Amino acid sequence: MSNILEHRGYRAAVEFDAEDGLFFGRIAGIADGVGFHADSVSDLVGAFREAVDDYLETCAKVGKTPDRPYSGKVLLRIDPALHARTAQAAELAGLSLNQWAERLLRSAVAVSS
């Protein structure tokens, strides 16, 4: 079972608000806050698709590139002892810390996709 919707390359996680009896979500990976909601699963899928389509149409109308670009730089603040252990693990694997971390992140994303 998954709570992830996909349409035209865009994804969103769906949540349920029991108090209001609504399913809702927000398009992930974009700077603009584009959300959607519905009171049934079938309506939610349509609302998500409509949100993505509207977002793309609006971007085209105003001449904006729709996706928020990612620089490829990630800043992490971690415990110094963990930093030391990860740096050592990378060195023992014959990799830079960046290469080692990228390999782990790729693996984690592949498992969750």
Listed by start position, the domains of the chain span 4-62, 80-112
Residue whose tokens read 């990799």: 95
pLDDT at 110: 87
Using an 8 Å Cβ cutoff, are 9 and 2 in contact? Answer: no
Average pLDDT per 10 consecutive residues for the chain, totaling 113 residues: 88 94 94 94 95 96 86 91 96 95 93 67
pLDDT at 72: 86
pTM of the full structure: 0.70
* Beta strands in 1-113, from DSSP E residues, in sequence order: 4-7, 10-17, 22-27, 35-38
Q: Which helix (H) or strand (E) holds 41?
A: helix 41-62
pLDDT at 113: 60
Using an 8 Å Cβ cutoff, are 25 and 32 in contact? Answer: no
pLDDT at 54: 97
